[in-house]
Structure 1
């Protein structure tokens, strides 16, 4: 089989990816930002397989995991412009485009899976509306385990982090790092080990799954289980590509998306527990946050929630009103 370069492959998709013929199976490409060991990627593979099975191969989606086809930050634009038909993205990285995308990156707004699911249902109408304006349609979302603190040294209060550099991966996490008295430094998942090893960062707040994926025990020893928020990946489809499908195939895609989202919410809690146990098994110290640290982080969460609402009072207010009912 010939190996095509990334540029050639994307160019080919851009020229012919949205075209449909009656003689050949429809071929779609689905870039994802995370590796095969992560739950969202595993669900993406199942999503694609269900569609292939239920269309008898008439719609064949190739999943390109780990940023292998399109870099994470470029995935939304690639879907929007039709270079690829469907893609997965961490919702929080869209925060600079519209405040509604920040809802699941606000510390302590929703810290349990039940609350996070309720928040998602409250935010979904506003998120869908904004995606629609950009030529995309929401298919499904997959939650991550709650985000907690990784550090080289034990942290009992924010004073212990003063002057350090903290990994940021979205506008909200950059603001959080600022409010914590640290310096935000944008680092994507594949670069985490090197960033710690070379002193570019000394701390991060992320999920136990990301810690396992990047083998956090090789560069940090402390995991403080603050469970600050529960973010999500979303999977979106180019509207033109979706509309070119016949009605029966559209329904297969929508059904598969419904099943994928249900699987994500069902499996995420078990994955969180498994990955936390893996951190412990590899020698990391996993501890509960001190009352002082928790109080300080909750105060930051309140500040960020107020700032978030001030960015877009109508849209954010609608999300909070539905969530708080």
Structure 2
């Protein structure tokens, strides 16, 4: 009995010695198979490695902590959450700068999306700091297309289409084209598809595949609408409470997470198209030039309005972007 008790005591002491100094719960609305959540998991694992296990993050996907994306900024500011994952468009009501990455047809490819992020990062960081937060890392998803039960081959195909959008910009563009858009939180999309409340979804091929949209739609049309950013942000007091070496680990893991995500997105798109086809979906990887022109035309007033609302920052960012 003495040997057993001694062994048990040693085991307990070992567990205490190996326990993380900082344990954080991270909230995300996205499902476990999405690139957003997989990036969060990569980040958590890499940060554990870089911190020698002193920081451990538990990822709570699918809004399982009870927080929606619209709650994240204020939950993190209040300390109810130490860290969260939030798509940029959800924050548009806080500051119009967050609509930059979802401006229609501004970033036309992955390289454009990366340039926009690198140029705009200091502006994003300033806003997060105003809300007592540290921007850790961000990454874009694959270009947005339309999941529906028909090809989107012309403006007529959008007329009266009840389609989910992820921000106010997408809602305005599709309204201008006589669709019937609804801005809906990600975790509510599948229930609304299942009940027929919406007939289509504006999102990337990865997100839709992760949510098995082929159970509700039979066609994906890639319109290269936009590549919105997803941010990971944490409470600034939580960050500042870390010793300097752990602060560096937090940011280094974030840098690596952005690089990892970028590579995944590049490799993932063609594979996802094939996955959709394996589920008997029709996939249209581009739209004709006439529809593309109509989409761009519908978007221009929104880009102009964004520039007015965002002020000098918009001109500074876009001037730098177009100079590259």
Normalised by the length of structure 1, the TM-score is 0.88
Distance 2:317 2:305 in 1: 15
Q: Which runs of 5+ in 2 are unaligned?
A: 1-18
Residue matched to 1:29: 25
Q: 1:156 touches 1:292 (CA, 8 Å); kept in 2?
A: no
Residue matched to 2:14: none
Of stretches 242-251 and 194-203 in structure 1, the one that deviates more from structure 2 is: 194-203
Which whole-Å deviations, capped at 9, do the CAs of 1:95-128 have from their partners, x for residues lacking one?
1111110011111100200011011112111111
**Structure 1 residues 35 and 197, CA gap change in structure 2 (3 angstroms):** closer
Question: Number of paired residues?
Answer: 303
Residue matched to 1:54: 50
Deviation of 1:59 (Å) = 1.8
Which whole-Å deviations, capped at 9, do the CAs of 1:163-198 have from their partners, x for residues lacking one?
221112212222222122122223233333332333
Q: 1:189 touches 1:210 (CA, 8 Å); kept in 2?
A: no
Residue matched to 1:302: 300
Of stretches 164-173 and 108-117 in structure 1, the one that deviates more from structure 2 is: 164-173
> Pick from 104, 115, 120: which aligns with 2:101?
104
Residue matched to 2:257: 260
SS of residue in 2 equivalent to 1:296: helix
Residue matched to 1:324: 322
Distance 2:187 2:231 in 1: 20
Normalised by the length of structure 2, the TM-score is 0.89
Distance 1:316 1:264 in 2: 26
Deviation of 1:24 (Å) = 6.8
Distance 1:234 1:137 in 2: 10
Residue matched to 2:142: 145
Q: Does 1:204 align with 2:204?
A: no
Distance 1:308 1:128 in 2: 19
Map of 1:134-213 to 2, 5 A cutoff? 134-213=131-210
Distance 2:84 2:191 in 1: 27
CA RMSD of aligned residues (A): 1.6
Q: 2:31 touches 2:211 (CA, 8 Å); kept in 1?
A: no
SS of residue in 1 equivalent to 2:106: coil
> Pick from 82, 85, 110: which aligns with 1:85?
82
Distance 1:200 1:262 in 2: 37
Q: 1:99 touches 1:316 (CA, 8 Å); kept in 2?
A: no
Distance 1:38 1:24 in 2: 27
Q: 2:26 touches 2:82 (CA, 8 Å); kept in 1?
A: yes
Which whole-Å deviations, capped at 9, do the CAs of 1:243-262 have from their partners, x for residues lacking one?
00111111111111111111
**Structure 1 residues 109 and 24, CA gap change in structure 2 (3 angstroms):** closer
Residue matched to 1:215: 212
Q: Which runs of 5+ in 1 are unaligned?
A: 1-22
Residue matched to 2:309: 311
Of stretches 192-201 and 140-149 in structure 1, the one that deviates more from structure 2 is: 192-201
Which whole-Å deviations, capped at 9, do the CAs of 1:54-94 have from their partners, x for residues lacking one?
32322222211121112222122111111111111111111
Q: 2:20 touches 2:53 (CA, 8 Å); kept in 1?
A: no
SS of residue in 2 equivalent to 1:163: coil
Q: Does 1:271 align with 2:268?
A: yes
